[in-house]
């Protein structure tokens, strides 16, 4: 239902954010944004996010696509559902506005890299791995090496990687939530001064995220739709909600 000349495109960001195999969320969302951009009847886009996160690069690609859409087309207003944590929040950060339910699980701003070590198990059953490598750091995080084989240099290399990736995450949040450019309206909520104290990997409720300026308004998907209608000048209840099949 709704006016076919006044459309709001809905894009679902559901599950693990990945660009691997048949679940290439990046390609799907980019295609949906491209289709929305090519239709002048689409006045705005609402990503409906319910995701615990996923790949760093995939999250960054989606965030970049949203930023580019914002610059050249209409507003993107995120609606965070049951969960929008880590990469789920990463893709929401560049949106013009962010809605969250009071009980949305969000935050988890941080980066993690893990490896399961099998050396002790293999040693018990008498399995001895044999490795040939081109350099001393080629088998970092190998599950076959004993944990004590990880050198100080390797630990420093991995920590630098984690820190650089975390800094990129923080920059996306700071730039996306800044009250400038497209976010100068009174409805836009600025980041609290101490927001980064809560960007240590912890999860937050939507209510807490709102207090720290990580989201703009508390409400559900319907509230996000009503706000978007008003924001783009569509008569209340008259927008046609659509989904492009990519």
Beta bridge partners of 46: 10
DSSP conformational letter for 191: P
Nearby residues of 56 by Cβ (< 8 Å), 6 or more positions away: 87, 111, 165, 169
Half-sphere exposure of residue 111: CA atoms within 13 angstroms, side-chain side: 18
Query: Is residue 171 flagged as an active site residue?
Result: no
Task: Choose the catalytic residue: 38, 115, 138, 243.
Answer: 138
Distance CA 49, CA 213 (A): 18
Question: Mapping DSSP to helix (H, G, I), strand (E, B) and coil, where does residue 105 land?
Answer: strand
Task: Output DSSP code: residue 235.
Answer: P
- CA distances (Å), origin 65, targets 33, 73, 92, 94, 101: 8, 12, 11, 10, 25
Active-site residue identified among 51, 59, 79, 86: 86
What is the DSSP pairing of strand 97-100 with strand 105-107? Answer: unpaired
Residue 138 a catalytic site member: yes
Yes or no: say if 208 and 150 are a contact pair by the CB < 8 Å rule: no
Instruction: Tell me the catalytic residues.
Output: 86, 138
């Amino acid at each position: 239902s709704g006016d076919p000349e006044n459309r709001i495109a809905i894009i679902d960001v559901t599950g693990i954010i990945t660009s691997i195999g048949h679940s290439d969320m990046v390609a799907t969302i980019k295609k949906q944004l491209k289709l929305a951009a090519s239709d002048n009847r689409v006045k705005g886009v609402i990503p409906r996010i319910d995701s615990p996160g996923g790949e760093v690069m995939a999250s960054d690609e989606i965030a970049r696509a949203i930023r580019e859409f914002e610059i050249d087309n209409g507003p993107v207003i995120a609606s965070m559902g049951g969960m929008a944590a880590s990469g789920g929040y990463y893709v929401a950060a560049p949106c013009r506005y962010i809605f969250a339910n009071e009980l949305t699980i969000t935050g988890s701003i941080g980066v993690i890299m893990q490896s399961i070590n099998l050396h002790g198990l293999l040693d018990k059953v008498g399995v001895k791995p044999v490795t040939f490598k081109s350099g001393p750091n080629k088998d970092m995080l190998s599950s076959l090496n004993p944990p004590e084989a990880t050198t100080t240099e390797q630990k420093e290399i991995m920590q630098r990687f984690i820190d650089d990736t975390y800094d990129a995450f923080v920059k996306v949040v700071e730039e996306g939530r800044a009250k400038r450019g497209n976010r100068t309206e009174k409805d836009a909520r600025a980041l609290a001064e101490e927001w980064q104290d809560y960007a240590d990997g912890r999860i937050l409720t939507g209510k807490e995220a709102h207090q720290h300026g990580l989201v703009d308004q508390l409400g559900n998907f319907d509230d996000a739709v009503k706000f978007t209608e008003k924001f783009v000048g569509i008569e209340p209840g008259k927008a046609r909600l659509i989904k492009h099949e990519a």
